[in-house]
Amino acid sequence: MEGKTVIKVENLVKRYKELVALDHFNLEVKEGEVFGLLGPNGSGKSTTMNCILGLLKYDKGNIEVFGKKMAPDSYEVKAMIGVVPQEVAVFEELTVLENVDYFCGLYVNDKATRKQYVEEALEFVGLQEFKKFYPKKLSGGLLRRLNIACGIAHKPKLIFLDEPTVAVDPQSRNKILEGIEQLNAEGATIVYTSHYMEEVEQICTRIAIMDGGKNLAIGTNEELKNMIKTGETIQVEILDFPQAQLESIRALPHVYRAEYEENHLKVHYTKGQRNLVRLLDYLKEHDITFGRVYSELPTLNDVFLEITGKELRD
């Protein structure tokens, strides 16, 4: 991919006693990307971000941000970074305006510039009417938006957003996602983590799926979908499907699994053309009456589950 490298992580190893949290992890994020970092709980996402931000010591490897080696005292580099943590991190005793002003003031000394930046941040997240409110008076969605305003008020070139839409209503979620796309359009490079796969599909230009401290797959949404076995899933409503026909269905071209339960025939295909036409022709030839038909292409969620497995995580 063309463009300057904003984040470069090479052979990163981080151990917590016997536990290997990051196992020779590699990552490269280019300027202007909205980069999705996905993984099950315990996969190493938070450890990765904390190492990149210089908040956590690691055992081996190299991290560069904006072409400079990242260290705990890399203040010049850190001034170009904004962080929106998963847990809302604001001061309860400060108003909305005072909170944004405080966090912006960590990086912007000039009062006139800071005042302008704070106003723009409040407008950006739609909190102008709530300037004098204290955090405890805000709804969950407004708190999330305040969290974002505090992280981006100093106009960082690189923004980390960790689960920014957790537990918010659909209206706030849309507002947040639109804001992220606007930040990107204005020139910010964004690293985004979420458990909401549809959000990642919507806004991320490239995506990495990690587990066990390793980068298992990386690419665009379409590139990741092409890595997995599932090409298409077709569901057909059939009130009474003869079980004996299942083996014949499984023998059709490109079918790798077929099952019938709760009046639905579900056929899973690898890549292939004319799957739907072939299946419907088969049903007609065997006088099998059917109702509605659904054809689904693989989603990012399918990719995620196929790559990381379906077992539950803590």
Confidence (pTM): 0.85
Query: Which two tokens mark 65?
Result: 């941000």
The candidate with the shortest Cα–Cα distance to 28, out of 51, 5, 4, is 5
pLDDT at residue number 168: 82
Confidence of residue 230 (pLDDT cuts 50, 70, 90): confident
pLDDT at 313 over 60: no
Confidence of residue 243 (pLDDT cuts 50, 70, 90): confident
Q: Residues near 102 by Cβ (< 8 Å), separated by ≥ 6?
A: 91, 94, 150
Confidence of residue 308 (pLDDT cuts 50, 70, 90): confident
Q: Which residue has the higher pLDDT, 32 or 141?
A: 32
DSSP symbols for 160-206: EEESTTTT--HHHHHHHHHHHHHHHHTT-EEEEE-S-HHHHHHH-SE
pLDDT at residue number 148: 94
Quick: pLDDT tens for 174-209: 888 999 999 999 999 999 998 888 899 999 999 999
**Which residue in the block uniquely carries the two structure tokens 């010591």?**
57
Give the whole-number percent of the chain exceeding pLDDT 70.
98
User: Which amino acid belongs to residue 163?
Assistant: E
Cα 266 from Cα 281, distance rounded (Å): 16
Query: Which two tokens mark 309?
Result: 């497995």
pLDDT at residue number 235: 96
Quick: pLDDT tens for 21-40: 999 999 999 999 999 999 88
* Domains in the chain, CATH or no CATH each: 5-225 (3.40.50.300), 232-297 (3.30.70.100)
**CA 185 centroid distance within chain:** 18
Q: β-strand 158-162 against 5-16: which pairing, if any?
A: unpaired
Cα 84 from Cα 265, distance rounded (Å): 45
Partnered with residue 265 across adjacent β-strands are: 236, 260
Contact 38, 208 (CB under 8 A): yes
pLDDT at residue number 226: 87
**Which residue in the block uniquely carries the two structure tokens 């458990």?**
195
Q: Which residue has the higher pLDDT, 86 or 113?
A: 113
Quick: pLDDT tens for 57-78: 999 999 999 999 998 899 999 9
pLDDT at 157 over 90: yes
Average model confidence (pLDDT) for the chain? Answer: 92
Whats the size of the chain, residue-wise?
314
Query: Which two tokens mark 255?
Result: 């079918």
Cα 74 from Cα 155, distance rounded (Å): 18
Check residue 28 and report its DSSP letter. Answer: E
pLDDT at residue number 312: 55
